[in-house]
Amino acid sequence: MKESIICFIGGGNMASSLIGGLLQTGVSANNLRVADTNPNALASYFPIQTYNDNLQAIQDANVIVLAVKPQQMAEVAKSIATALPEHPPLFISIAAGIRIADLNRWLGKDRAIPIVRVMPNTPALVQSGASALCASTHVSKQQHELAENILRAVGLTVWLTDENMMDAVTALSGSGPAYFFLLMEILEKTGVQLGLPQETARLLTLQTAFGAAKMALESSEDAATLRARVTSKGGTTEQAINTLQASDIQALFDRALQAAQTRATSMADEYGEQA
């Protein structure tokens, strides 16, 4: 991976998390490029080569990371197709919903293009991302390893054998950081309502979230057991958990994640087959 030239098409929120994470992990700035049609998106960027012309940016790249919005993907991919060499580089698409088959059609028409579809998340910026990967049948063993190495450099990776699982992953871990950030917002605000100074509520919230995640990751016990250890019989936690369960928090999250999964699937139809 260290020698590969990795070119990002689209330099927004998710691309900047990946680029920042890769730089932190020691990938040379000389091997990273980013192209974006909006020069403001690149203004505050890391010290890597930036382009406003996608076709110029992809020249000699070993890996092209497609990081534009799903609705822009067809147009961007079809334009890149006009400039691909005889042996196309590895494509990594991080777009929610967009299927490998559609990407291959846009990029290659009838010829096979090596594509790895990935659903990463923004904690990649601090090497704590979680990515699910799924490879097209035309991805070589080396390209498989290359994609794995790029994403593993910024966090956990899991491979999916069934691309259909990607929309569930998008609902769980792709969107997931937002659920935890929302919970942090809620806890901090509630702490203030209970009488704590804002900064005290903020710090206690963040450290509690971090501590709970670290403990769950490092423990051999499941989350339910760890929760039980906090919940003293007749104590305070029991009151809070009972209140949350009386409002059926499980059903609320079922509906929320189903809505996200359904949206990912509908984006594939909206921006894919008809595009």
Ligand X SMILES: O=C(O)[C@@H]1CCC=N1
CA terminus-to-terminus distance, the chain: 33
Helix, coil or strand: residue 138: coil
For the chain, helix (H) and strand (E) counts, in that order, are 12, 8
**50 is an interface residue for ligand X by CB under 6 A:** no
State which residue, 176 or 191, has the beta carbon closest to ligand X: 176
State which residue, 96 or 201, has the beta carbon closest to ligand X: 96
> Binding residue for ligand X (CB under 6 A) from 175, 205, 261, 265?
175
Longest dimension (CA), the chain: 70
Helix, coil or strand: residue 42: helix
State which residue, 70 or 191, has the beta carbon closest to ligand NAI: 70
Binding site for ligand NAI (CB under 6 A): 9-15, 35-38, 41, 54, 67-70, 72, 76, 94-96, 119-122, 174
CB 168 within 8 A of CB 263: no
**Which 59-98 positions form the footprint of ligand X (CB under 6 A)?**
96
| Minimum distance of ligand NAI from residue 132's CB (angstroms) | 10
Consult the annotation and say whether 104 binds a ligand: no
| Minimum distance of ligand X from residue 96's CB (angstroms) | 4
CB 153 within 8 A of CB 21: yes
When CB distances are held under 5 to 8 angstroms depending on the partner's kind, the choice from ligand X, ligand NAI, none that residue 123 binds is none
| Minimum distance of ligand NAI from residue 212's CB (angstroms) | 21
Of 65, 29, 87, 28, the C-alpha closest to 146 is 65
Structural tokens at position 78: 């079809």
CA dihedral 209, 210, 212, 216 (to 10 degrees): 140
Q: Which residues are annotated as a binding site for NADP(+)?
A: 9-14, 67-70
List contacts with ligand X (CB under 6 A).
96, 170, 174-175
**Would you list which residues are annotated within the binding site for NADPH?**
54
